[in-house]
Structure 1
């Protein structure tokens, strides 16, 4: 098989790039190791920054997002018995975020690829990347017992942290930066009315908590837990009791509980791989960088990678201009590190660290007090939360 761009990974990043390029007449093939059903069962982020929403519309996939998504102009930070609102609309010059589940977003992208007869190959095993430094790279993979090959101009590695793409870059070239946090997030999805129309970030001595939502009938809640905990340690009743203890009394009193329909524990880590290009291979999303979910930057950082790649490939194929491809890694990493800084700051400010002393705790309190005493500080938070310019 021959194509212009071979995309490894059938998640939202890979599907979005495939859709955008298809609309401009550039051929792509997407390879995904799992089934479509498996991909759509993943429960992930739901806060989309302004630029991501615009990219969905440009991909002609934003109709249901605009119809069903929740527009949020702010969120609440609760601490020391106080509830303070960050006014995103006011402090980001009129911008906002869209709350729309990643599962639904991925479903929209799949349906768009189906409508346009896009090639998305599932159950692709033993994917290997070849001749990355040559003018004729290719990808091999296996479906069952049948070996297959794709010849292409470029390869996009959007196959996540555990995928093959980043591992195809020699260790002598790749530099990796990582910070592992000493806790995880226990997340519960329930078919209940959200406790608040806006997200509530709660800092508490027992640990961080977050009240989020996917729709007006679907809620997503999180609590900070030790890395040693397992799902079996947290039956539903215990989870709801602990969540209520970490929320302000009036919010806890309004909380509607119900059976969990999904429950998982995610460890928190910060990670960046440099460079994001090696010959004809370009990394995107979790294949190159991971952030803690505290600042809602994960999927949004992947979207900025796709934005840069889309425009770089467009310039190459339409104008024979390679500037965007040649500067992709530098440009993408500049924004990635800003997302890393913001997510690290939010995580450090709002979580309870097991080894923290009184000095550390005082700094956290001072950080929060300063945030709400300074319009410039709230402006910096809002600017990052709704999304820095691409």
Structure 2
């Protein structure tokens, strides 16, 4: 493809995403797509039909005899469950352009149950298909015609026939051509290997909380592209990434309480994305957030008993009775055994650790919540006597609580 055509395809892709809110795919004459499309978000049968169309020989059924000399033809190919792809065959063996999948702008009398039954899909999968179909745009042929015509007129100075041709992919269609599958197999294998390697690297960095290494990967590595650049698909990818990072925190021995809080926060933020331009920045913010969560709450370097002690302390700092005896009774483990291992692994005694955590929490409250009085903050961090709290706080920070707040 000449440079002019590459630029034209890039512009056309943006036009498709803006006007039609669906995917754009260019496939060359050897049926090798411009990027690997692994539609993991698709339900099983639709994914199978998508692969048949994209990687098999079915596209050659979209090539009319007069594609070079006469007008261009648009084919509308039915996948299954009333979903479609539109195909434009380019002249001079330049390949194919595909748009979709989408739902047609026609009155559909069949229910989803009927569509599933006709396609031989178990009704137990109804929710899977319903969820996916609700993400697809509804497009009429006139809008598709306008977009295709703009491209053909600009690049080839020709016309596009208004009437769409088409067929439905069915089990009766011949299997994808093995010759063309071989052409794409190595490319697909290499790109998938690279993608999974990048994912593995990124997840390991998150597990370690290694922000510097994440930054050094570069912005392209943040995308983990699996599907074309469409807002709903990008949201799906962010949801997948959020799940992977949540699992990474489990590997880093972050307590489920913190994992649930951060993953829930990002689930809401992901669903609130309303522009494709927001995705990259939010993805970077999410990676940073998860790395910092590991830095603050990972207990991977401690034995199970010490991890349990640290979590108990963190969740009970406001308890004035918090002590080694209370923790020992809660865990059902000998107190001196716990104390010995805590000192060895943490590098300080449990009372010192508790006081340090309480002062850190008090500093945070003094800095962020000006409505709380010093007495309230003392109580919230497990000090029953505000004068004793002030004395300990000054010993640790060099300031009284009041002067620290002013600073």
TM-score bracket, normalised by the shorter chain, equals under 0.3
Which has the higher relative contact order, 1 or 2, with Cα contacts under 8 A spaced 6 or more apart?
1
Q: Which has the higher helix share?
A: 2
Q: Which has the higher strand share?
A: 1
Normalising by structure 1, we get a TM-score of: 0.24
Normalising by structure 2, we get a TM-score of: 0.23
The structure with the largest alpha-carbon Rg is 2
